[in-house]
Amino acid sequence: MRRLLIAGNWKMNMKLDSAKALAQGLKEKAAGVSEVDIAICPPSLYVQPVGAIVNGSNVGLGAQNAYFAKAGAFTGELEMAMLTDVGCQYVILGHSERRHILGESSEFINLKVRAALKAGLIPIVCVGELEAERDNGVTNDVNRRQFDGSFSGVSAEEMKKCVIAYEPVWAIGTGKVATPDQAEEVHAFLRGLIVEKYGKEVADVVRIQYGGSVKAGNAKELLSKPDIDGALVGGASLKVDDFMGIIEAVRAL
């Protein structure tokens, strides 16, 4: 049985005061939740002050990105070991906003995935098709390509630690959520890819989150599907009650 992981991707939102207040509020309200794993991923600059608040609680800490190289002359970048140094357990990699706005390729993301694993972080690796790709019937091809590229050279033992987030790009921040059946179809396909590459024992433990307009009102139906093992939440992770609403909706599943 895979434990659900509900992770908040705060993206480039909030200022320090509101970030700290959100972390404090979540820590208090989530204190009694033991059934699911919870994580928050603030903007990098706020990881440390937010981490100081949730440290020792059941709210895990992640970053939204980092670089693959070891410390050195990489102006503006952060090393994976810097994230663990300030208490991160997770790092989101390959988010569609980084793939499509910042131009990150699966090959580049792969370097980061491997570096994150070496540093002892749990990478939350995002994959997902554009609306036009779905319309053109190439959803599986796109997700296969992103899966193969992002996890190239990752061992079976390392793969077990990874989290995949299936995030159809057309559902991110649009309010246009995938139906539970649409999502489950891709999740089952992705699990099949893990079986192909690593075998069933590995595929059975890898958590595959769904992301894209998840809210308290649709979370239970989505996460009730057999291959949907959590949610990566953007907009609805920015308010304590919205995020807690998702956690409350699924903690009994």
Q: Which residues are catalytic?
A: 95, 167
C-beta closer to ligand PGA: residue 89 or 152: 89
Q: Which residue is nearest to ligand PGA (CB)?
A: 234
CB of 95 to ligand PGA, least distance (A): 6
Separate counts of helices (H) and strands (E) for the chain:
12, 8
CA 95 to the chain's CA centroid: 8
CB of 233 to ligand PGA, least distance (A): 5
- Cβ(93)–Cβ(126) below 8 Å: yes
Cα separation, 39 vs 154, whole angstroms: 23
CB of 86 to ligand PGA, least distance (A): 22
Q: What share of the chain is helix, strand, coil (3-state, %, to 5)?
A: 45, 15, 35
CB of 185 to ligand PGA, least distance (A): 19
Which residue's entry shows tokens 């953007």? Answer: 234
- Cβ(27)–Cβ(241) below 8 Å: no
Using only the alpha carbons of the chain, give its radius of gyration.
17
C-beta closer to ligand PGA: residue 202 or 214: 214
CB of 74 to ligand PGA, least distance (A): 25
Closest by CA to 6, choosing from 34, 40, 32, is: 40
| C-alpha atoms less than 13 angstroms from C-alpha of 219 in its C-beta half-sphere | 28
The three-class DSSP label of residue 108 is helix
C-beta closer to ligand PGA: residue 128 or 202: 128
C-beta closer to ligand PGA: residue 93 or 236: 236
C-beta closer to ligand PGA: residue 173 or 199: 173
Residues that bind ligand PGA (CB under 6 A): 9, 167, 172-173, 211-214, 232-236
CA 141 to the chain's CA centroid: 21
